Amino acid sequence: MGVAELPAAFRGAFGGRFRYFNALQSACFAGAFGGAGSLVVAAPTGSGKTVVMELAILGLHRVGLAPGGGALAPPGGRRKAVYIAPMKALVQEKADEWARCLGPGGLGLTLATLTSDTDLEGQARLPQADIILTTPEKFDSATRRGAGRGSMAFFADIGLVIIDEVHILNDERGKSLEAVVARLRLGGPLPAAAGAPGRVLRRERPPHRPPQVRRRERDDSQR
């Protein structure tokens, strides 16, 4: 499956990095880019899971394309993706990478990071951000305090949640991630943000198993 199969406005997001998706990415393409249900991807490091996440983000913004797959209308924070990773360094790495291909240097989306280094001014930019990159602990803390101040209205704009290294649920740090997911889904299924269906993509890294793609319909009782 080739990058050329994407709408013209989205092809530049891959910036000439490659012309064809690998086997894992091709297997996930329909579920990540075109699907409406949640998706779990379990594959080793270096297998191309980041591209699957990027496809899910692009899929969120399909509704903003001009007729014929032309230019993307600036979403202005009305269709948000939230990326949650266990380490601040991983959050910053993805922020730098996506700023080039999905942000101002690429597709034109607005990115905002939320980590222990983020000040109040940075948090004030969250409502306008199209992609929020954060750690479980910081998002848990910020959303708990923000909910009390009524400043979490942007939750209604979240259409996609990407959880990286979801296996941390099994260790001590998993408590914060569990709290975040519960808070995100407290009002039921993710809203249809500006016309895009709400969904969850979870990425995990099995230690000694071949790549797997497990597609499942959302079951709120298991989240």
Which residue segments constitute the domains of the chain, with CATH numbers given?
Answer: 3-218 (3.40.50.300)
Alpha-carbon span 38 to 161, nearest angstrom: 9
- Res 160: pLDDT: 92
**157 Cβ contact list (under 8 Å, min separation 6):** 77, 78, 79, 80, 127, 191, 193, 194
pLDDT for 40 beyond 70: yes
Q: Tell me, what's the pLDDT at 215?
A: 44
Please tell me the predicted confidence (pLDDT) of residue 117. Answer: 86
pLDDT digits (tens, 9 = 90+) for 87-123: 999 999 999 999 999 998 788 999 999 988 887 778 8
Q: What is the pTM of this model?
A: 0.81
**Mean pLDDT in residue range 67-94:** 87
Beta-carbon-side half-sphere exposure of residue 183 (alpha carbons within 13 Å): 21
